[in-house]
Amino acid sequence: MKLIKDNGNWYDLKVMTEHHTIKHYSFDFWNTIAFSNPNFKKERCEFIYVFFDRKFEKQIINDAFSIIGKDYNSFIDNGGQTTPIDELYIKVFDFIGIENSYDLEQIKTGIFDLFLKYPPTISQEFLDFLETFEDQNVSFSITSNTTFIPGYIIEKQLTLVNLIERFAFCIFSDVEKVAKPKCQIFHTVLERLNMNDQLAYDAIHIGDNYKADYLGARNAGLLSFLLVNNSFLSNERLALHVINDITTVPISANDYSKFKFGDSHIAKRYGIELFEYFKENYLPELISSYDSFLIYSSPYTHIPTSSFYLTQYFFDSFRLYLSENNKSDIKIEFCKIKRCQTYTDDYGAMNAEERYNLIKNDTYELVDVPSKTDVSIFIDDISITGTHQKVIENLLQAKAIETKSIFLYYAKLSSSEICPTFENILNYSFMNDFRRLLEIMLSDTYKITTRTTKYILSLQSESFNHLMEQLILRERYSVFNELVSLSYDNKYHKIELYKPNLEIMKLRVNELKKNNKIK
């Protein structure tokens, strides 16, 4: 049986299934038909914080759930055995440093109650998809892995929103003691439907995880569809450059790579070009209705991202334009979104579902909170899948912040046919060796970025030592001091991958200070 297209959005799914006699639709739950409520994670952290008498920092509580959850999901995606939910919670508390003298049932009850109080958002596109089958003889089910929230609580939530009756049955990994992508859990779907191997193509499983949902169902003999979640954004992705074909990329890959690793000269050009695009296409109409503009760069903790510098030059161009055109009544402010956690993974090398699973757990904080009368312009260098934008949109929703939101990019990937790992080609087009990084760092236009810092701290010893010696030889002492100081501010000294190089660098900085090379 020939498939039309087995990946894409809900419309693509509809087109595909119209060419098949599908009798049953199995859906993944998380990030397919439901998206986590940011308020839940916030309130869960607060609950644990108060439950243990405020003895542990909120950041480590959030980190514990994020890291344990991510590690477990990765283990499961690669065919590992399921772990009981109680054991996962114990791992979280061990990570935090909590002794085992606590009432786990009481804690779980509190967390489950919070989940029901702050339930996930059900995808409107999923609901619209269901409505197209009102008069057809087809059935639906849920086949989903679980981590910290058990299946029976998810079923309770679906009951509260009057959705549970739409599903013939629900299959959850914590109940079945087996998880996707293992064939056994999909065979359970067929058993519930009284389908044999010959009838398996009458059933399809839909999910956002390539390994667990797409390959898992296919290996079990079912049809499968990989849902690409790029239509879940509330705001349009505006971009100066649009990438539809990797053979004709409208920007220089080498320049972009230099920009990502700290070449502020290119950041300046990007910022000015992006403002000109914004000014020509959107600014006149906005100025006629608004008199306050807040400019946000991509989230960071203490070490700026490369897009921070792009945004800075965009801001400077905007301010100059207002001055030259005597628009003193227009207020403009440079603002910050704080990233509250970090990771060592480079999502540029990930596909859509991998980067979504990584980035969706990001926690951001608006240092400067916009109002209803502001225009909030969120700027980044490139948008690949829209996941970062969604996290910011979730933050605004969670905080009940009403503001005119514009998401503006220097470039965006618009073709679902191009794998998101294409971003990594751009990132490292020029920067394919640490000597290239040294070339950038020795220039007068170098600015520290999170990417360069992580790259340096993860270098092998020989390359790292060579880079250090060259910087010292060229008397770039301030670079050392900045790298060490900001790395500690970012808490990189607590990340095992970065510790060795950071400790060596700190020793060298202390030596330079002792010899009055650094003030």
Residue 18 φ/ψ, nearest 5 degrees: -65, -20
pLDDT of residue 228: 73
Matching CATH number, 237-427, of 1.20.120, 3.40.50, 3.40.1350, 3.30.450: 3.40.50
353 close to 314: Cβ distance less than 8 angstroms: no
Write out the two tokens for 309: 């510098």
Instruction: Report domain extents, the chain.
Output: 7-35+120-227, 38-117, 237-427, 434-514
pLDDT of residue 311: 98
Is the sign of the CA dihedral 79, 84, 87, 89 positive or negative?
positive
Residue 3 φ/ψ, nearest 5 degrees: -90, 145
Could you tell me which of 254, 256, 258, 305 has the C-alpha nearest to residue 441?
Answer: 258
pLDDT higher than threshold 80 for residue 343: no
What distance in Å separates the CA atoms of residue 150 and residue 174, rounded to the nearest whole number?
Answer: 6
Q: What is the dihedral of CA 475, 481, 486, 489, to 10 degrees?
A: 170
Region class of 372: left (phi > 0), else alpha (psi between -120 and 50), else beta? alpha
Could you tell me which of 372, 412, 370, 375 has the C-alpha nearest to residue 395?
Answer: 370
**Rounded mean pLDDT of 297-320?**
96
β-strand pairing of 404-413 with 364-366: unpaired
What distance in Å separates the CA atoms of residue 8 and residue 225, rounded to the nearest whole number?
Answer: 8
Residues 6+ apart with CB under 8 A from 421: 348, 349, 350, 351
**Which of the 8 DSSP states describes residue 492?**
G
Segments of 44-124 assigned E as strands: 121-122
pLDDT of residue 324: 97
**Which of the 8 DSSP states describes residue 300?**
B
**Rounded mean pLDDT of 391-406?**
87
Gyration radius of the chain over CA positions: 25
Q: Is 498 helix (H, G, I), strand (E, B) or coil?
A: coil
Segments of 146-296 assigned E as strands: 169-172, 203-207, 223-227, 237-243, 292-296
pLDDT of residue 246: 81
Confidence of residue 358 (pLDDT cuts 50, 70, 90): low
Confidence of residue 360 (pLDDT cuts 50, 70, 90): low
**Rounded mean pLDDT of 147-161?**
96
Q: How many Å from the N-terminal Cα to the C-terminal Cα in the chain?
A: 72
pLDDT higher than threshold 80 for residue 2: no
Alpha helices in 325-449 (DSSP H): 352-359, 387-398, 422-427, 434-441
Query: What type of residue is 40?
Result: F
**Rounded mean pLDDT of 426-437?**
90
Could you tell me which of 287, 278, 272, 264 has the C-alpha nearest to residue 317?
Answer: 272
| CATH number for region 7-35+120-227 | 3.40.50.1000
pLDDT higher than threshold 50 for residue 169: yes
What distance in Å separates the CA atoms of residue 179 and residue 471, rounded to the nearest whole number?
Answer: 51
What distance in Å separates the CA atoms of residue 115 and residue 121, rounded to the nearest whole number?
Answer: 11
Residue 235 φ/ψ, nearest 5 degrees: -125, 150
pLDDT of residue 232: 60
What distance in Å separates the CA atoms of residue 453 and residue 362, rounded to the nearest whole number?
Answer: 20
Region class of 455: left (phi > 0), else alpha (psi between -120 and 50), else beta? alpha
Please list the residues that pair with 225 across neighbouring strands.
206
pLDDT higher than threshold 80 for residue 100: no
Residues 6+ apart with CB under 8 A from 109: none
Query: What type of residue is 468?
Result: M
Query: What type of residue is 144?
Result: S
β-strand pairing of 337-339 with 223-227: unpaired
CATH topology identical between 7-35+120-227 and 237-427: yes
Residues 6+ apart with CB under 8 A from 356: 31, 208, 229, 385, 387
Write out the two tokens for 504: 């060596």
Cβ atoms within 10 Å of 511's Cβ, excluding its own: 13
Could you tell me which of 413, 435, 416 has the C-alpha nearest to residue 425?
Answer: 413
What distance in Å separates the CA atoms of residue 367 and residue 378, rounded to the nearest whole number?
Answer: 14
pLDDT of residue 99: 82
Write out the H or E segment, with its range, that includes residue 143: strand 139-144
pLDDT of residue 354: 56
Predicted confidence (pLDDT) per residue in 195-254, tens digit: 876 667 789 999 988 899 999 999 999 999 988 765 567 788 999 999 988 888 999 999
Residue 7 vs residue 235, higher pLDDT = 235
What distance in Å separates the CA atoms of residue 230 and residue 226, rounded to the nearest whole number?
Answer: 12
**Which of the 8 DSSP states describes residue 188?**
H
pLDDT of residue 1: 40
**Rounded mean pLDDT of 382-410?**
88
Residues 6+ apart with CB under 8 A from 94: none
Residues 6+ apart with CB under 8 A from 95: 60, 63, 64, 67, 68
